[in-house]
């Protein structure tokens, strides 16, 4: 199974394509974004932590090419779908990317091909909605004429120790034969495989992983506020607690949740659970707490400005970090957007600085900010600085002589100004 098509060349699909290419596979990367297709074929990278040299090497070796022509799935033995699964404006699952992709490839599926979904979704998507569109568009029957499986992505952007090949891969198939095919596919490129009994178990596994993180982050976010009222530093508490060698795992508070997974994925289960008359109270409460964190940051900022004899209205505010995570260029669902929105609603004049996101890209929820540019330097002529992302550049920056209040939401500033606050 050497010929593989990967649909969706973003933060999940591109690293996976490169890993299969390194492992001897011949990969066709498919995407509707012609800019990505052209970049890959030219040996260029559009993702900060994916080096252009790795793409160029795969291109030079003939292991990787990109195309916007989805009919090319006729040439492959396996198709892996790595497309977005966002929430719509009503906070309900939006499967349009998955199902539209299914409709696009279905007429071109050859008999015996394996189709794997990697996009995070609720249990029943692969053997339900996706299966239906593939069968309707191809005239083939899943589990008989073609194989179908689910294997959740486990990307950790910005973590230099996180390698696609060494992250254990959960795999669930529609039938035992489907599972066998999927195991053979991922065995080419991944060192450890974790087979499970069905697509639904694999889908539920991914949701559990992200719900676990969402709930625990909500816990420390809530404790941050409670302990702050008591004059206790939550960060010091966590450092002390994590010395316990059993029964504790550290999670860290912040200005809100970001990224494509944790702010979104838990609500896929919340939505699906209603179909079975079940209520996900922990998930919903965690969502409420995490969503409220930007408001808490603004409250701390308001108090800091007030103590400095200034109002929020017309204050010059600099947000440090637009990426949702330190040292990456991924701004999806970043809480920094919420902070900008809230400060500007109060009349503040807001600018941002981020070495990884020099220009705000077009986003679904914050299109109004598209094209806004990062300031070139972190200067001292602002009324307030808010650290929203813990980039290494900010950790090392010397703020000690800066006169304005600084709000640190990541506990990352080492050389702190006199008017330093945590939030």
pLDDT score for 91: 80
pLDDT value of residue 146: 98
Domains and CATH numbers, the chain: 3-197 (3.40.50.720), 206-289 (1.10.1040), 292-422 (3.40.50.720)
C-alpha 407/C-alpha 304 separation (Å) is 8
Residue 309's alpha-carbon distances to 109, 146, 295, 312, 371, in angstroms, are 67, 69, 21, 10, 33
Burial of 413 (0-12, 13-18, 19+ CB in 10 A): buried
Instruction: For the chain, list residues with pLDDT below 50.
Output: none
Return the structure tokens found at 188. 């080419």
Cβ-Cβ contacts under 8 Å for 244 (sequence gap 6 or more): none
Please tell me the predicted confidence (pLDDT) of residue 159.
72
Task: Give CA–CA dist 144/159, Å, rounded.
Answer: 40
pLDDT value for 231: 97
pLDDT of residue 206: 96
Task: Kindly report the backbone phi and psi dihedral angles of residue 290, in degrees, each rounded to the nearest multiple of 5, phi listed first.
Answer: -65, -35
Phi first, then psi, for residue 352 (nearest 5°) are -135, 160
Residue 1 confidence (pLDDT): 64
Task: Tell which residue, 262, 242, 259, has the closest CA to residue 250.
Answer: 242
State phi, psi for 234 to the nearest 5 degrees.
-60, -35
Catalytic residues: 261
What pLDDT shows up at residue 261? 75
| Rounded-to-integer distance, Cα 168 and Cα 414, Å | 36
């Amino acid at each position: 199974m050497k010929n593989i098509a990967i649909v969706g060349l973003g933060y999940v699909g591109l690293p996976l394509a490169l890993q299969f290419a390194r492992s001897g596979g011949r990969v066709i990367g498919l995407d509707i974004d012609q800019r990505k297709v052209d970049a890959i074929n030219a040996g260029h990278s559009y993702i900060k932590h994916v080096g252009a040299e790795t793409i160029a090497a795969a291109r030079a070796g003939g292991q990787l090419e990109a195309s916007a022509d989805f009919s090319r799935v006729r040439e492959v033995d396996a198709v892996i779908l790595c497309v977005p699964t966002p929430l719509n404006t009503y906070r309900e699952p939006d499967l349009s990317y998955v199902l539209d992709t299914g409709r696009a490839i279905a007429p071109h599926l050859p008999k015996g091909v394996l189709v794997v979904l990697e996009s995070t979704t609720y249990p029943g998507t692969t053997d339900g909605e996706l299966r239906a569109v593939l069968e309707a568009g191809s005239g083939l029957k899943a589990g008989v004429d073609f194989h179908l499986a689910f294997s959740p992505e486990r990307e950790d952007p910005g973590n230099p120790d996180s390698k696609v090949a060494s992250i254990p891969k959960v795999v669930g198939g529609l039938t035992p034969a489907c599972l066998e095919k999927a195991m053979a596919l991922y065995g080419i490129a991944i060192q450890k495989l974790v087979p499970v009994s069905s697509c639904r178990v694999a889908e539920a596994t991914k949701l559990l992983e992200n719900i676990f993180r969402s709930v625990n982050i909500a816990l420390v976010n809530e404790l941050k506020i409670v302990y702050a009222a008591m004059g206790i530093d939550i960060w010091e508490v966590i450092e002390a607690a994590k010395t316990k060698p059993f029964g504790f795992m550290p999670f860290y508070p912040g200005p809100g949740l970001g990224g494509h997974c944790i702010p979104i994925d838990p609500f896929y289960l919340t939505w699906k659970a209603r179909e079975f008359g079940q209520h996900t109270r922990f998930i919903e409460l965690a969502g409420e707490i995490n969503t409220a964190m930007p408001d808490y940051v603004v409250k701390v900022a308001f108090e800091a400005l007030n103590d400095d004899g200034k109002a929020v209205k017309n204050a010059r505010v600099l947000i440090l970090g637009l990426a949702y995570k330190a040292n990456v260029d991924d701004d999806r669902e970043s809480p920094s957007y919420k902070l900008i929105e809230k400060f500007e609603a109060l009349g503040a004049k807001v600018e941002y600085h981020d070495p990884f996101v020099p220009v705000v890209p077009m986003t679904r929820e914050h299109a109004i900010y598209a094209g806004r540019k990062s300031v070139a330097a972190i200067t001292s002529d602002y009324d307030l600085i808010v650290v929203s992302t813990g980039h290494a550049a900010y950790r090392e920056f010397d703020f000690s002589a800066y006169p304005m209040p600084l709000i640190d939401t990541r506990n990352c500033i080492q050389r702190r100004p006199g008017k330093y606050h945590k939030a």
